[in-house]
Structure 1
Amino acid sequence: MALVAARAGVSGQTVSRVVNDSPRVDPATRERVEKAMAELGYRPHRAARALRTGRSQTIGLVVTTLATVGNSRMLQATAEAAAEREYALTLVTASGGVAEAFEHLAEQEVDGAIVLNEASAQVPTAQRPAGLRLVVVDAATDDGFISVHSDHAGGAALAAARLLELGHPIVHHLAGPADSFAAAERERGWRDSLAAAGIDAPEVVRGDWSAESGYVAGAALSAASAVFCANDQMALGLLRALAESGRRVPDDVAVIGFDDVPDAANYRPPLTTIRQDFTALAHRAVAALVADIEGEGPASGPSIIPTLLIERSSTR
Structure 2
Amino acid sequence: MTDQATRGWQRPSIYDVAKQAGVSHMTVSRVLNGHPNIRDSTRERVLRAIEDMNYTRSSIARALATRRAMRIGVLVDGPVEYGPNSTLRALESAARHQGYGVSAFSVSDGAQSQMDDGLMELATEGVEALCVIAPRASSLRVLREHDRGLPTIVIKAEPDPVWHTIAVDQRAGAVEAVTYLIGIGHRRILHLAGPQDWYDARERQQGWADALALAGLDVIAPVVGDWTSDFGYEYGRTHDFGDATAVFAANDQMALGLMHGLAERGLRIPQDISVIGVDDLPDSRHFLPPLTTVQQDFSALGELALRQILAAIGGDGDVHHDVIEPVLVVRASTAPPRR
For each residue in 1:16-45, what CA deviation from the matched residue of structure 2 results, as whole angstroms up to 9, or x when unmatched?
6566453355678889999xx9xxxx9977
Contact 1:206 1:217 survives alignment (8 Å): no
Aligned to 1:205: 223
Contact 2:170 2:203 survives alignment (8 Å): yes
RMSD between superposed Cα atoms in Å: 3.3
Contact 2:75 2:130 survives alignment (8 Å): yes
In the alignment, residue 271 of structure 1 is paired with which amino acid?
L
Aligned to 1:189: 207
Number of equivalences: 310
The 1-side partners of 2:304 and 2:23 are apart by: 40
Secondary structure of residue in 2 paired with 1:234: helix
Structure 1 stretch displaced more, 221-230 or 15-24: 15-24
| Residues 1:312 and 2:325 aligned together | no
Aligned to 1:86: 99
Secondary structure of residue in 2 paired with 1:313: coil
Secondary structure of residue in 2 paired with 1:285: helix
Match of 1:281 among 274, 296, 301: 301
Aligned to 2:270: 250
Matches within 5 A, 1:118-133: 118=135, 121-126=138-143, 127-133=145-151
| Identity percentage of aligned residues | 38
Structure 1 stretch displaced more, 16-25 or 299-308: 16-25
The 2-side partners of 1:81 and 1:46 are apart by: 13
The 1-side partners of 2:184 and 2:59 are apart by: 57
Aligned to 1:149: 167
Aligned to 2:259: 239
Distance 1:17-1:183 versus aligned 2 partners, 3 A rule = same
Aligned to 2:198: 180
Q: Which runs of 5+ in 2 are unaligned?
A: 1-12
TM-score, normalized by length of structure 1? 0.85
Structure 1 stretch displaced more, 105-114 or 53-62: 53-62
Distance 1:198-1:15 versus aligned 2 partners, 3 A rule = closer
Aligned to 1:109: 126
For each residue in 1:228-270, what CA deviation from the matched residue of structure 2 results, as whole angstroms up to 9, or x when unmatched?
0001111000000000011100000011101111111110001
Contact 1:62 1:91 survives alignment (8 Å): yes
| Residues 1:56 and 2:69 aligned together | yes
Q: Which runs of 5+ in 1 are unaligned?
A: none
Aligned to 1:66: 79
Distance 1:241-1:58 versus aligned 2 partners, 3 A rule = same
Contact 1:106 1:129 survives alignment (8 Å): no
Distance 1:33-1:172 versus aligned 2 partners, 3 A rule = closer
Distance 1:250-1:109 versus aligned 2 partners, 3 A rule = same
For each residue in 1:108-132, what CA deviation from the matched residue of structure 2 results, as whole angstroms up to 9, or x when unmatched?
0111122224356422542335431
For each residue in 1:81-123, what CA deviation from the matched residue of structure 2 results, as whole angstroms up to 9, or x when unmatched?
1111111111101243433312111010111122224356422
Secondary structure of residue in 1 paired with 2:75: strand
TM-score, normalized by length of structure 2? 0.79
Task: State the Cα distance separating 1:140 from its structure 2 match.
Answer: 3.2
In the alignment, residue 274 of structure 2 is paired with which amino acid?
A
Task: State the Cα distance separating 1:315 from its structure 2 match.
Answer: 0.6
